[in-house]
Structure 1
Amino acid sequence: MPTLPYRIYDADEHYYEPDDCFTRHIEAAFAKRTVWVDRSRGSGPGRMFVGDERCHFFSVGTGDSVGPPGAMKEFLRGASETGGSPSLSPIDGLSVREYVDRGARLAKMDEQHVEACLMLPTTGVGVEPQLRAAQHRDALYPSLRAFNRWLEEDWGFGRDGRIYGAPLCSLVDLAQGVAELERVVAAGARFVILTAGPIEGRSPADPHFDPFWARCEEAGVNVVYHIGRTPFSEIYNVPWGLRPHPPSHRHSLMEYALSFTERPIVDTLTALVADNLFGRFPRLRVVTVEYGSSWVAALLRKLDHIARLYSKDMWRFGAPPLRPSDTFRHNVWVTPFFEDDVPALVALLGEDHVLAGSDYPHPEGLLWPAEFAEEVASLAPAVQRKILRDNLAALVA
């Protein structure tokens, strides 16, 4: 582990949720309609359900059998042809205290030289689109409220300045979405998570949703888009004869290329820029996590090129005051994969909008978050410090 003269701020850490993360605080009327884990078989991984339907994205408990942190590092670097499975040498993640317990995690963070982190869901990023379906719709917001209460209780929203848990929000119902945003902001949340993609025929930057974005800007809340289940599998896969609901880590090459990782975040950020969200809310801050960064350069070139080609009256919600690439640089923070070309991203976006994220304790992440320092070693020490610490610290200040 590299030795640094300061403790880092990690923009991508995770917990493994217990079985009751959605059920502990669920309203009684929805107790059998929310996300739950069936362990009636006695042995083996628990089976995950949404109501009486099997969970599409995570069919079994996410922490039950999972590779240890850092297991895929050399494979992802291209240094090894083995180790490409996230379930290689599996462990029971729920039995490792620092993955499930706040006190143990703080002790681990001290050992890892991590001062603070953005703490993100594992199961939680895989269920909101399924809850949008007609048969589950009325359970969507009760489920999100229950999860967020569990998160506040077990991990907290960051009042201690160390673990910044990010609650789940949704724009499917604007009134309920704003109400839950108000509740978690009042409880101290500095980040909220949204699912990438359109919201049932609307761009997320449609002025219809402005009350939500206005409150985020006013409260200084950072909006996070983290990889997970999105509507894109239904939108793009089905017309090509592919599965509408491929499970996590079981995508075919074409399913992955069409509807996972890059496509959801590229399309979503295109909408936020092109539909002038940041022109209306110039102080809004959007953070991308675990989507990598290999797509950023091509997206900025494409947006600027298209903006030059077309007249200003073709912006349906008004023309942004800046070039699209400059709008992106002003309002978006990117957390690259450790295996990405981080110095090139810094040159493209500027040193203030790049965040270091370890993805600890997931197998595709880093065992020691400070290992990310290896990826920025060619940069000036002051720039390294911004990426490894100061940029995330500024977002929570």
Structure 2
Amino acid sequence: MELPRIVSVDDHVIEPAHLFETWLPARYRDRGPRPLTAGIGELAYTGGKYRFTTDPDGPLTDWWEYEGGLFPYKRTIAAAGFPREEMTLEGITREQMRRGCWEPKARLADMDLNHVEASLCFPTFPRFCGQTFAEARDKEVALACVRAYNDWMVEEWCGDSGGRLVPLCLVPLWDVGLAVDEVRRNAVRGVRAVTFSELPTCLGLPSIHSGYWNPFFAVCQDTSTVVCMHIGSSSQMPAASPDAPPAVQATLSFNNAMASLADFLFSGVLVRYPRLKLAYSEGQMGWIPYALERADDVWREHRAWGGVRDLLPEPPSVYYYRQVFCCFFRDKHGITSLDEVGRDNATFETDYPHVDSTFPHTERVALEHVRGLDAETVHKLMRGNAIRMLGLEHLDRPAA
């Protein structure tokens, strides 16, 4: 079987050290994020949270300093090119990373090596939906940082890629009016995807049931902007016990996506905004058939007391199949349940350069999943659904 070149809907970018010096207006730079290289001490991941100390004599690590806080880059988030046994939890500098982590031309070369035509990249230092800026004290500077990041994303990271690097922008989560403005500002220049929290109440933000986010959902619908929600965009990962090893969180990583999907399906948001598109990133898909079965059962059997009788005129699964996209990279169970997952709803990702990434073996891993499927379905999974979701029709046009 010849595998179509992949359009990956979930990869990641390590921000270059010059980002804010170049793109943040000069009047904010002394209060904005500052890159530094310094030693790191202990680095651990427990209870779904990273904990670290500094050590002048420790291994050199690249950091961001912002409002007195420190953010270190870790090998697990820049693991591309390392042998599996060396993908350990320790600090890392950009010079130790594969250059494709942070340099656009090198990324395109790695994409060619990995059978990938186009890639949508989530942020790292701002965190998956811009929590770093949402938590900042000085919101004037934070807003400037969001805009600077988006300008860098559109003009520098994606600008010379010939459409192969697909822009994914932040919104100022702390103010829905500013979020609406930022969606509009970026939509004018062709951006069709923004990040959002899978569970905003975990960030101290209003819930999707409150009506607060309706202007944001409306503008995303009107501009054909996809609302992308990455696992961990609630600033927490499922942890069965506070002292559980990181392997427990890694196993349960789909859990927040499942909770978020149920939240949206019963919120009425997808009824009010029937052209709004949601995308769940890195959540895999094998869990979806039962989640939909249970949601439909609850709608039929429990809607009289369940608070949704007047919200949903049709079973929840109707709205999922119409408006929601999932993605996978290692999920053979999801493939065997593809008719229930939705052949038009599933997309593919490589997760470059994270520890979970299939790089540089993505073509082989994908073929192991799709071998035996018909060519039309393989095209949908590897690129067609992503192209439709993100409005990337130029990728399927014949070369002039």
* TM bucket, shorter chain: 0.7 to 0.9
Kept after mapping to 2: 8 A contact 1:93/1:99:
no
Match of 1:190 among 188, 192, 211: 192
Superposed, 1:94-105 pairs within 5 Å as 96-105=98-107
Match of 2:73 among 39, 61, 64: 61
Kept after mapping to 2: 8 A contact 1:117/1:162:
yes
Letter in 1 for 2:10: D
Match of 2:207 in 1: 203
Match of 2:361 in 1: 368
* Count of matched residue positions in the alignment of Structure 1 and Structure 2: 369
TM-score (norm 1): 0.79
User: Structure 1 residues 128, 112: CA separation in 2 closer, same or farther (over 3 Å shift)?
Assistant: closer
Separation of aligned partners in 2, 1:304 and 1:330: 15
Separation of aligned partners in 2, 1:231 and 1:5: 36
Kept after mapping to 1: 8 A contact 2:75/2:90:
no
Separation of aligned partners in 1, 2:282 and 2:316: 23
Separation of aligned partners in 2, 1:21 and 1:205: 36
Match of 1:326 in 2: 318
Match of 1:338 in 2: 330
Within the alignment, does 1:311 sit opposite 2:303 as a pair?
Answer: yes
Kept after mapping to 1: 8 A contact 2:33/2:66:
yes
Q: Deviation at 1:66?
A: 3.9
Letter in 1 for 2:268: N
TM-score (norm 2): 0.79
- Aligned CA RMSD, in angstroms, stands at 3.5
Within the alignment, does 1:147 sit opposite 2:149 as a pair?
Answer: yes
Match of 1:355 in 2: 347
Give the percent of matched residue pairs that are identical in Structure 1 and Structure 2.
21
Superposed, 1:161-200 pairs within 5 Å as 161-199=163-201, 200=204
Match of 2:282 in 1: 290
Structure richer in strand, relative to its length? 2
Q: Deviation at 1:28?
A: 4.2
Superposed, 1:1-397 pairs within 5 Å as 4=2, 6-39=4-37, 44-55=60-71, 60-62=72-74, 66-69=78-81, 71-72=83-84, 83=85, 85-87=87-89, 96-126=98-128, 128-133=130-135, 135-156=137-158, 160-199=162-201, 200=204, 202-232=206-236, 242=242, 252=246, 261-311=253-303, 315=307, 318-366=310-358, 367-371=360-364, 372-395=366-389, 396=391, 397=393
Kept after mapping to 2: 8 A contact 1:20/1:36:
no
Kept after mapping to 1: 8 A contact 2:136/2:142:
no
SS at match of 2:198: coil
Greater displacement, 294-303 / 283-292:
294-303
Give structure 1 stretches of 5+ with no counterpart. Answer: 73-82, 244-249
Q: Deviation at 1:101?
A: 2.4
Give structure 2 stretches of 5+ with no counterpart. Answer: 40-55, 394-400
Q: Deviation at 1:127?
A: 7.3
Separation of aligned partners in 2, 1:144 and 1:281: 26
Kept after mapping to 1: 8 A contact 2:61/2:91:
no
4+ residue segments displaced more than 6 Å: 88-91, 253-257
User: Structure 1 residues 323, 108: CA separation in 2 closer, same or farther (over 3 Å shift)?
Assistant: same
